Chains A and B, each alone.
Chain A
Amino acid sequence: MNNSEKRQLRVLAAKARLGAIIGTFNAKSGHPGGSLSAADIMTYLYFKEMNVDPQNPQMADRDRFVLSKGHCCPSLYAVLALKGFFDWDELTKLRHVGAMLQGHPDMKGTPGIDMSTGSLGQGVSAACGMALAAKYDKKDYRVYAILGDGECEEGQVWESAMFAAHNKLDNLTVIVDQNGLQIDGPVAEVCGIEPLDKKFESFGFNVIKIDGHSFDDIEAAFEKAKTVKGQPTAILAKTVKGKGVSFMENQVDWHGKGPNKEEYEKACAELQATIAELEGEC
């Protein structure tokens, strides 16, 4: 990836963050923190990695994406809108009565959503099912799932990990958004999950540790994952919850509430400045 491509991704990621802020502000609720921490990875997936077609969201052999930590859909919705799956304006109606964009992803109502999620721990199992279907049908599409680090406390995550390795689902890439925080506090204080790399390794995964905000790291990890045979990959991405909006960064408090008017304006100004700066460099 050259510098100009990287800059373009950073612009898109900043716009995705802006979309998450617009959405949660208009909804007066929602989950900005984890939306912002996963924005770079989701941007990369939809703009560089995955074979998807916004004109044909149900394309049979498309790559699949499951946001297992479904509450972080505001930035996923923004990425899907940027990609052309639906109108950007839908974000202003997020979580309203009758809106297309539900509080948690709804595969029946929203183009581009491959799995309905919101109950933690379940999406990653569904991703295993999709990867299994690809194997069974001898198709070469790939499946991606993003998990929260708090989410890794669910036993089901480890049931799915055992299944994925046992069935040699090398077409499955699980990304853990390691922002270090959940609702009741730091993951390490609520119910620690470390050493996460050793856990996934011992479950039979190919493990790659990256900086989840570095597009070089993200690219290298996804490229590596594609070369590994007979094993699923877990990308452990170190991230900052609330990334890109100064006052939301690393704040437990910004897990699950919408910004008020003043906070909204401040966040938008920051993100718009980031976008302008990056576009100026282009």
Chain B
Amino acid sequence: MTGEQLLQAYYFLKLNRALEEQLLKFYMQNKVVGGLYRSLGQEAISVGTAMALEPQDWVAPLIRNVGAFLVRGYRPRDLFTQYMAKATSPTAGRDCNTHFGDIQRGVVAPISMLGAMIPVMVGVGWGSRLQGLDRVGLTYIGDGGTSTGDFHEGLNLASVWKAPMVLVAEHNQFAYSTPTSKQMAITDLVDRAKAYAIPAEIVDGNDLMAVYAATRRALEHARSGRGPYFLECKTMRMRGHAEHDDARYVPAELLEEWRAKDPIDRFSQRLLEEFGFSQEQLSEQDQRVAKLIEEDAEFAERSPYPEGSRSQAQEGVFAS
């Protein structure tokens, strides 16, 4: 990564975290409609993978991939207004949280059904290649989501078709209350990919540079016509499934262990110690982040709710 990219990565990591801290404030003030899902401790995965994409590549972020939206040019206000169900949100209040997208930005809006995005992104990659387009489709899956039929069908299809698709598995140890040990009889998700003859590697998901470098390798592989690639990012879900869940079932020592591996702390430290950045340079980015969050939080608060006429609730199902 160039110096400029490193600084940019720092900015996005901090923006991702600050955005969620602001969302938490909104949540405590009862301004969030529905649940609040956090990516605390997993930010390096979304930011690192999305930064590795080329502009023509497409990404389908899931609920914990706020960072990928930011890298793709969405602003904090887009997530604030989505979570607050405002008329100014990207879906104009029709759908919630990260359920939005825009083909112009190469962002596919996810559905809740886990695994569903995998076959879809196989199709994005395959369909693009059929038309001579250089485009890789990248999406994410949780450890729990790897038990779905769509995960297995999608990977198998990607493999036999050699589709340019990259799947990033975020192994954050839990699927709601279910630890990986009760979800599957293997410890590493890469073993799933191996069954489909898909090259796979384990990555330290809390190391932004490692995530970025692995994603570059994965994309290069997919782009060169050799088929899909699978990354398993080891990480930890540092909050409950959503904020309403106190996650009592997570052993305190496990959280303690992973707190020491916080991806932002580690990255900042490397920037200062290994890459010669100054504290002022980082503080400058922090100020940019704070300013944008403040501005966008205000925008979201000021934004109206949809009026809510029946015709408004009804329209838009078909093109015409």
Q: Do A and B come from one complex?
A: no
